[in-house]
Amino acid sequence: MLEGQFRNPSGCAISGVIDRSGRRMSGECMIRSISTMHDRSNGLGGGFAGYGIYPEYKDYYAFHLFYDGAASKKETEDFIGSHFDVAFQSAISTRKTAGVTDAPVIFRYFVLPDSRKLETRKLDEEEYVVRAVNKINTEIKGAYVFSCGKNMGIFKGVGFPEDIGRFYRLDEYEGYAWTCHGRYPTNTPGWWGGAHPFGLLDYSVVHNGEISSYDANRRWIEMYGYKCNLQTDTEVITYIVDFLLRKKKLTLGEVAKVIAASFWTTIDSKPEEDREQEILLRKMFPSLLINGPFSIIFGYTGGLMALNDRLKLRSMVVAERGERAYIASEECAIRAIEPELDYVRAPRGGEPVIFELNGGVK
């Protein structure tokens, strides 16, 4: 069976870093960080997300695609050509790496929506992009868009994460923030698209855990036009965050109060104002509460958010050193790249920890 045709529970390792002054770092640091947690992956999936890596095309949506051959590539490029203006396209350059085999054809396109089509569809630009990506992913057999944000990119595949990083030559990219993921699935995924991070526009999610509310969350979010084709937690979490942030315009802090809501007893003991807002959020979005173990790093333009399930059933620590902030499943993954830390701590269950660029995105 292929990824997406069944639920594939996984254990995982995640790591992330952001330089809040906006100074860019090569992807090498993430490769080193995740490789210390080698035992938390089993070689069946790894991936990275880098932010600020495409300054020269920062206003274009960067599409990363997997193809299974020339036919799907041709069909997709016809579709992209008729819906977008393509500023630049090329194969994503890779390096032969032991441990990474059976790679698909991997391409990159910097695009902007075709302005006339956008006009007639009466959609906002982002929604137009989301729908186009969905169309490719569900309707063109053998083609899969795995990254579609601006000035960011996801790189992933089947293998140990450090091997995947080297395969994609991430040491040659520079970004102000990175996240990465090593996967320990209990079944064999044969497919590169099934690796993580999962992305939508500039949002990316890496996640360690297995949520028990999956079907409740999935069936609810699918009412709002999302289609959970991969049947992974990461996918449904990304859609939930997208729905709440982009469509409902909640703040990140509010999103955290929906998906990792405080217990009613905790809410009751809060000051009046917080209590009212938190009760209201739980009443409004009860089916988006995510239950069961999870630790996620949510990446977006200009920041990273770390969030644990409300019982903290998965390990996760955060640390800072000067302008740099770190998030990882285990402290060793942080120490490996920054032995001297100002502090390191384990956030409480349900407590969102948000690190953003000083003064926002430039």
Partner 1 sequence: MEPLFVYPEYEIVRDRESCITCRVCERQCANEAHRYDEFNRKMLSDSTKCVNCHRCVALCPTHALKIKKSEDTYKLNANWTGDALNEIYRQAGTGGVLLSSMGNPKPYPVYWDRLLVNASQVTNPSIDPLREPMETTVYLGSKHAEIVRDERGRIKDTLAPQLKLKTPILFSAMSYGSISYNAHASLARAAEQLGIYYNTGEGGLHRDFYKYGKNTIVQVASGRFGVHPEYLEAAAAIEIKMGQGAKPGIGGHLPGAKITDAVSTTRMIPKGVDAISPAPHHDIYSIEDLRQLIFSLKEATAYKKPVIVKIAAVHNVAAIASGIARSGADIIAIDGFRGGTGAAPTRIRDNVGIPIELALAAVDTRLREEGIRDNVSILAAGSIRSSSDLVKAIALGADACYIGTAALVALGCHLCRSCHTGKCNWGIATQRPELVKRLNPEMGVERLVNLVTAWTHELQEMMGGMGLNSIEALRGNRLMLRGVGLTEKELEILGVKHAGE
Active site residue 180: no
The token duo for 267 is 């809410």
Q: Which is nearer to partner 1, 88 or 264 (CB)?
A: 264
Please list the residues that pair with 179 across neighbouring strands. Answer: 16, 49
Smallest gap from residue 56 Cβ to partner 1 (A): 36
Per-residue 3-state assignment (H helix, E strand, C coil) for 89-152:
EEECCCCCCCCCCCCCEEEEEEEEECHHHHHHHCCCHHHHHHHHHHHHHHHCCCEEEEECCECE
CB of 292 to partner 1, least distance (A): 5
| Interatomic CA distance for residues 247 and 141, integer angstroms | 29
Looking at the Cβ atoms of 116 and 249, the one nearer to partner 1 is 249
Of the residues 12, 29, 148, 180, only one is catalytic, namely: 12
Q: Of 8 and 72, which CB lies nearer to partner 1 in the complex structure?
A: 8
| Angle ∠(150,135,169) on CA atoms, nearest 5 | 40
- Min dist. Cβ of residue 215 to partner 1 (A): 4
Round to whole Å and give the CA distance between 4 and 15: 25
C-alpha 95: how far from chain center:
23
> What does the alpha-carbon distance between residue 303 and residue 358 come to, in Å, rounded to a whole number?
10
- Looking at the Cβ atoms of 32 and 248, the one nearer to partner 1 is 248
Binding stretches for partner 1 (CB under 8 A): 7, 9-11, 186, 209-210, 212-217, 219-220, 222-224, 248-250, 254, 261, 263-265, 273, 276-277, 280-287, 289-293, 310-311, 313
Q: Could you list the active site residues?
A: 12
